[in-house]
Amino acid sequence: MKNISEVLEGVKTIGIGGHVRPDGDCVGSCMALYLYIRTYFPDVDVSVYLDHPKPIFGHIDHIDDIKTEVEEGREFDLFITCDVSARDRLAVAGDAFDHAAKTVCIDHHVSNPGFADVNYIRGEVSSCCEVLYGLLDPDKVNRPIATAVYTGMIHDTGVFQYSSTSPDTMRIAGELMKQEIPFSKIIDESFYEKTYLQLQVMGRVLAESILLQNGKCTVGYLRRRDMEFYGVEGSDLDGIVSQLRLTRGVEVAIFIYETETQHFKVSLRSNGKVDVSKVAVFFGGGGHTRAAGCDLEGSMYDVINNLTAEIEKQFCEEEA
């Protein structure tokens, strides 16, 4: 597949879906593709399905068109997944994908086995949005589409900080900026703007964080009772693990919060020496070399001990 138009030929109905707990790259790529088809293939009936995107993506055009469940009995000529690394990671629209006449997977996760009829997977590329951009006609990437693509790119590159950022990544970002997208505002709203309550919670986590493994690993945590005290949910905790990663001397940052009694959501970030995707995959999760996540059960101390034991293995391999 060299251009998305190749798989759209003769298609009348299209579904687009992303992964569970959609992040910026997932929302950006799904919405960019939706806007592209909606604009340049007006005779096609296209729907996008995502699992309740966060309010920070409100700047993307037609974000309210997103559906959080598939209509009963709905079948598509074509179903396209964006940023979904495995079939069991597809949220909301799994049945629609399984019953579609044809399926396409667009992704950038190296662990993706290729679960669709047509798979366009580029593991060396920074984001699914960058992969998708390569399949679009650049002359047709207008301001709304450019805004969605740029949103996904900055989320999966940490605003072009991560090692996956390439000269091509920056070139594409420059092309998107030519559409006069509000790039500074998108970055602020995505990463830096916090409510007073979010800042209080972040301060609490940072104050109680602990250093392990001779200062190379930092761990922040939040118990369920603390979240109930502050009245926050997981969506209010963005940015905490990235702030932990910036601790001087730290190679790996871990942030865990309790979603249910003894059930923890884990976020991992690395400065490069540790491949946190290997740690996440070991525990049934996934992600990238420098940013990954998983879910673990047990006491908070068991969760921390299990994670740091896997991280320690990589430190030992490096020293050997």
Return the CATH number of 5-192, one of 3.30.70.100, 3.90.1640.10, 3.40.50.300, 2.60.120.1140: 3.90.1640.10
Q: For 304-316, how does the pLDDT look when each residue is reduced to its tens digit (9 = 90+)?
A: 999 999 999 999 9
Q: For 210-268, how does the pLDDT look when each residue is reduced to its tens digit (9 = 90+)?
A: 999 999 999 999 999 999 999 999 989 989 999 999 999 999 999 999 999 999 999 99
CATH 3.90.1640.10 domain locations along the chain: 5-192
What's the pLDDT at 320? 64
What's the pLDDT at 84? 96
Backbone angles phi, psi at 84, to 5 degrees: -100, 115
Q: For 52-72, how does the pLDDT look when each residue is reduced to its tens digit (9 = 90+)?
A: 999 899 999 999 999 999 999
Q: Are 59 and 182 in contact (CB under 8 A)?
A: yes
Closest CA to 8 of 60, 43, 32: 43
CATH 3.10.310.30 domain locations along the chain: 196-319
Provide the whole-model pTM. Answer: 0.85
As a whole-number percent, the residues of the chain with pLDDT over 90 amount to: 87
State whether residue 247 is helix, strand or coil: coil
The CB density around residue 320, as the number of other CB atoms within 10 Å, is 5
| Percentages of the chain per state (helix, strand, coil), in multiples of 5 | 45, 20, 40
Q: What does the alpha-carbon distance between residue 49 and residue 22 come to, in Å, rounded to a whole number?
A: 11
State whether residue 267 is helix, strand or coil: strand
What's the pLDDT at 74? 93
- Cα 74 to Cα 33, 77, 81, 244: the distances in Å are 20, 10, 16, 44
Q: For 107-128, how does the pLDDT look when each residue is reduced to its tens digit (9 = 90+)?
A: 999 889 999 999 999 999 999 9
Question: What is the arithmetic mean of pLDDT over 2-14?
Answer: 96
Residue holding tokens 């396409």? 104
- Cα 76 to Cα 43, 67, 95, 204: the distances in Å are 14, 15, 11, 48
As a whole-number percent, the residues of the chain with pLDDT over 70 amount to: 100
Question: What is the arithmetic mean of pLDDT over 5-18?
Answer: 97
Contacts of 130 (CB under 8 A, 6+ apart): 108, 149, 153, 168, 169, 172
Q: For 145-170, how does the pLDDT look when each residue is reduced to its tens digit (9 = 90+)?
A: 999 999 999 999 989 988 889 999 99
Across the chain, mean pLDDT equals: 95
Supply 176's token pair: 């998107």
What's the pLDDT at 318? 78
Q: Are 266 and 230 in contact (CB under 8 A)?
A: no
- What's domain 196-319's architecture? Roll (3.10)
Contacts of 301 (CB under 8 A, 6+ apart): none
What's the pLDDT at 140? 98
What's the pLDDT at 108? 95
Look at residue 1 and tell me whether its pLDDT is greater than 90. no
What's the pLDDT at 88? 92
pLDDT category, 286, cuts 50, 70, 90? confident
Look at residue 205 and tell me whether its pLDDT is greater than 80. yes
